[in-house]
Amino acid sequence: MRVHAYAMSLSVVLFASGAASAATYDAYPGDDLKTAIESLFFGDTLIVHSVGGDGTGQYDRFKVYNLRGDNPRTPEKEWITVQAAEGEPRPVIYDSSYSSYNLVEFLDYIQYAKIIGLEFWRGSDSIKLPGTSGDHVIFEDLYMHEIGNTGINLSSCGNVSFMEIRGCEIADTGYAGHGEGMYLGTHGTQGSGSGILRDSIIEFNYVHHCYGSQGDGIELKYECYRNVVRDNVIHDTQYPGILSHGTALPTAADNNILTRNVIWNSGDNGIQTHQTTTITNNVVFSSSRCINVGENTSNSGILHDVYIYNNTFYDSGDEEGDRVAGFYVSGKTNIEICNNLFYQPNIGQPNIEDLAVTFDGSVGIVTSGTMARHRICPVDSRPGPRRRTRSSILPSRRA
Amino acid sequence: MTDLYLQGGTALENAGDNTYAPADDFNETARPQDGTAEPGAYEIVGASNPGWQIDEEFKTPPVLPALVSSEPPADGTLPKTQNNVILLTFDAPVTLPGGDALVIVEMGGGPDVSSAFVYQLDPNDPNGLTLKATENGAQLTDLTWYQVSPAADLAVAPFTLDVCVLFGDANNSARVTAADYSEVKARMGEYTDARYDLNGSGRITTADYSTVKAHLSDRAPTKP
């Protein structure tokens, strides 16, 4: 902490004088990042180096309390930025255990904070917000790999809004836990008004090889709303590539939006939702079921307001009798499934309508190897969606 | 890797329903092309996928066509009393959106005149790189600055272009002088909508001299 000891004392002076000028500080391998980050004030930047210091390129796990970049005395919002040094290998946050400790925890509150360019290796969760609320948080260009549990874990968060998770790679999860790439929002607090992620953007991330006891790519928990999940590449997941449980809100205006994502090799459903989700322009292929929509009242309330437009679903990659898509939506309101392509290459043309897609009722599927465009709302007696794993399409785990 | 972009000649072309089609596709290409949307994530815009190719890597955002030149150039003048033309040339083909392609606003807080123009791909550019905006009659105010920028639905990189209406400035000098007579004289008799056709009639005649004469010594005002 050579450099940051100076930083801390300087910051105190700036605050005491009421000056609004931002400062840039440096941290080097072996420094205590907790102390360095907690001493930042609004507008400050901490450059995290991998070269120099103790020569390891690494930093120990840490917990940061109450990281707030907003300057309450000015109309401008002044962010705190923690970012990797340009032109150096990524600085690595490391813990040898897969289960004992999370690598980084943000506690109490996090606000107007950007974390950019860091690498997270092993540990339980790479980043966790345990019981933490926040707003205006950006996680960008982070690389998380060989993860005990989850990459970005909001599984017991408070309320978080205006978060952006962009350009992050999350790989090889679940060595000792659930194994989601991103676990966003909280089950178990339903109706309490907490544990909700809203108005956030998850975009241009690369999430792959998510296993463990579950292993979703991106799981957006019940009651999270008005989030946009777009342009992500997700493959080789044990549970759904993207699972949106639904908003618990009455109208589509607050729907979560899943758009322009690519998903393949999901051992479960490529995309799965239980309600209030708008799904457009996604490409999903070679998954046990490319998309599955059905009610799950134990976790997600009544199914309604699901809009599925212009997606391409190709090849369940599964045994005979399995389907590219399953829609268990009969009797539900505001369900529209239009302009999608469903294609199951190993099924003979005469049977495509019967075998490529499962609808729980009679719907007019227009097929030409295969296309469906229609609105549906028919009868149902089929069971709800299933979650399962199928190891035959999963590659062997890490060399 | 898997490429699920629709192949040419597919029966799926134009087989979607525009009522439900999102405004753009997986590649952020405007939808529909050719009147009716395709089903699926991709809208057909060529023989092969013009966007990101699926692979084990991050998806990259589409590279949008960038403005490389314009007529008039930045801070240049629109010299015609009617039917002024703005030509914007990009480094890649552009696609016209359904509504106005540009936002054209009088600088200094004046009105939005975007809808006073007709938009098309320049028929003289076989490569589809040039967007042509033609004033629909006499809509612009002389000695007035306008700012041109892409409409939200025009898939190009952001830009702004400031131009000033200066009737009679055939040579784009920001001033109407005797030299503008010479520009007109050199093209006398041509059928064109180029800037030398100062009265916007579609042909360069002696009547264009009158425009120069009427505005002789005018200068472009200071930009707001």
Per DSSP, the three-state class of A231 is: coil
Looking at the structure, tell me whether residues B82 and B125 fall in a common domain: yes
Give me the residues of B, 8-67, that contact A with CB < 8 A: 11-12, 15-17, 19-22, 24-26, 28, 31, 37, 39-42, 54, 56-61
Percent above pLDDT 70 for chain B? 100
Joined together, the tokens standing for residue A288 give: 């046990």
The whole-number pLDDT of residue A359 equals 57
Q: Which of B18, B33, B62 is the last residue of a domain?
A: B62
Q: How far apart are CA A204 and CA A60, in angstroms?
A: 28
Joined together, the tokens standing for residue B81 give: 């009393």
Task: Please check whether residue A182 is in contact with residue A158, taking contact to mean a CB–CB distance below 8 angstroms.
Answer: no
What is the amino acid identity at position B112? Answer: D
Q: How far apart are CA B171 and CA A353, in angstroms?
A: 66
Domain annotation covers residue B220: no
Looking at the structure, tell me whether residues B39 and B111 fall in a common domain: no
The whole-number pLDDT of residue A391 equals 30
Q: Over 90: is that where the pLDDT of A193 sits? A: no
Higher pLDDT, A337 or B85: B85
Q: How far apart are CA B53 and CA B47, in angstroms?
A: 14
Looking at the structure, tell me whether residues B197 and B129 fall in a common domain: yes
Higher pLDDT, A291 or A349: A291
Contacts of B176 (CB under 8 A, 6+ apart): B166, B167, B168, B169, B212, B215, B216, B217, B218, B219
Higher pLDDT, A64 or B64: A64
Residue of B nearest to A262 (CA): B54
- Tell me if ipTM is over 0.90: no
Calculate Rg over the CA atoms of chain A.
Answer: 23
For chain B, give the mean pLDDT.
94
pLDDT tens by residue, A219-244 = 999 999 999 999 999 999 999 999 99
Q: How far apart are CA A92 and CA B31, in angstroms?
A: 43
Looking at the structure, tell me whether residues B92 and B24 fall in a common domain: no
The whole-number pLDDT of residue A1 equals 34
Which CATH number characterizes residue B170's domain? 2.60.40.1220
The whole-number pLDDT of residue A322 equals 63
**Cβ pair A281:B25 closer than 8 A:** yes
Domain annotation covers residue B47: yes
pLDDT tens by residue, A115-128 = 999 999 999 999 99
Average pLDDT of the segment spanning A212-222: 96
Looking at the structure, tell me whether residues B83 and B192 fall in a common domain: yes
Chains A and B form CB pairs within 8 A to the count of 97
Q: Over 50: is that where the pLDDT of A18 sits? A: no
Looking at the structure, tell me whether residues B50 and B86 fall in a common domain: no
Residue of B nearest to A313 (CA): B40
The whole-number pLDDT of residue B153 equals 82
The whole-number pLDDT of residue A168 equals 97
Looking at the structure, tell me whether residues B35 and B110 fall in a common domain: no
Confidence of residue A337 (pLDDT cuts 50, 70, 90): confident
Q: Over 60: is that where the pLDDT of A159 sits? A: yes
Domain range for B174 = 67-215
Q: Which residues of B touch A339 (CB under 8 A)?
A: 16-17, 20-21, 37, 39-40
My answer on whether omega of the bond before A240 falls inside 30° of 0, hence cis, is: no
CA distance readout (Å), A127 to A35, A147, B146: 17, 11, 49
Looking at the structure, tell me whether residues B57 and B76 fall in a common domain: no
Task: Please check whether residue A184 is in contact with residue A221, taking contact to mean a CB–CB distance below 8 angstroms.
Answer: yes
Looking at the structure, tell me whether residues B91 and B147 fall in a common domain: yes
Q: Over 50: is that where the pLDDT of A355 sits? A: no
Domain annotation covers residue B87: yes
Confidence of residue A188 (pLDDT cuts 50, 70, 90): low
Percent above pLDDT 90 for chain A? 62
| Complete DSSP assignment for B85-117 | EEEEEESS-----SS-SEEEEETTT--B-GGGE
Lowest mean pLDDT among A341-350, B136-145, B156-165, B191-200: A341-350
pLDDT tens by residue, A257-304 = 999 999 999 999 999 999 999 999 999 998 988 999 999 988 888 999
Confidence of residue B199 (pLDDT cuts 50, 70, 90): very high
Looking at the structure, tell me whether residues B74 and B55 fall in a common domain: no
Q: Over 50: is that where the pLDDT of A197 sits? A: yes
Which of A205, A259, A373 lies closest to B16 in CB terms?
A373
Looking at the structure, tell me whether residues B54 and B96 fall in a common domain: no
Q: Which residues of B touch A167 (CB under 8 A)?
A: 58
Confidence of residue A6 (pLDDT cuts 50, 70, 90): very low
Q: How far apart are CA A277 and CA A224, in angstroms?
A: 11
B112–chain A Cβ distance below 8 A for any pair: no
The whole-number pLDDT of residue A77 equals 84
Which of A233, A285, A286 lies closest to B59 in CB terms?
A233
The whole-number pLDDT of residue A381 equals 24
The whole-number pLDDT of residue B106 equals 97
Confidence of residue B48 (pLDDT cuts 50, 70, 90): confident
Average pLDDT of the segment spanning B196-221: 96
Contacts of A46 (CB under 8 A, 6+ apart): A4, A7, A24, A25, A26, A27, A36, A37, A40, A80, A81, A82, A83
CA of B99, closest CA in chain A: separation in Å?
Answer: 22
The whole-number pLDDT of residue A372 equals 39
CA-CA-CA-CA torsion sign (A30, A99, A398, A289): negative
**Cβ pair B59:A231 closer than 8 A:** yes
Domain annotation covers residue B5: yes
For chain A, give the mean pLDDT.
82
Q: Which of B62, B92, B115 is the last residue of a domain?
A: B62
**Cβ pair B4:A339 closer than 8 A:** no
Domain annotation covers residue B224: no
pLDDT tens by residue, B123-180 = 999 999 999 999 999 999 999 999 999 998 898 999 999 999 999 999 999 999 999 9
Q: Over 70: is that where the pLDDT of A4 sits? A: no
The whole-number pLDDT of residue A367 equals 32
CA distance readout (Å), A174 to A130, A155, A181, B66: 18, 15, 9, 44
Domain annotation covers residue B116: yes
Burial of A104 (0-12, 13-18, 19+ CB in 10 A): buried
Domain annotation covers residue B143: yes
Which of A204, A262, A371 lies closest to B39 in CB terms?
A371
Domain annotation covers residue B88: yes
Calculate Rg over the CA atoms of chain B.
Answer: 21
**Cβ pair A312:B37 closer than 8 A:** no
> Token match 């060399």: residue?
A399
The whole-number pLDDT of residue B138 equals 97
The whole-number pLDDT of residue A347 equals 56
Domains recognised in chain A with CATH numbers: 1-239 (2.160.20), 248-399 (no CATH)
Looking at the structure, tell me whether residues B99 and B82 fall in a common domain: yes
A368–chain B Cβ distance below 8 A for any pair: yes
Confidence of residue B53 (pLDDT cuts 50, 70, 90): very high
The whole-number pLDDT of residue B173 equals 97
Confidence of residue A48 (pLDDT cuts 50, 70, 90): very high
- Domains contained in chain B, number: 2
Average pLDDT of the segment spanning A371-390: 28
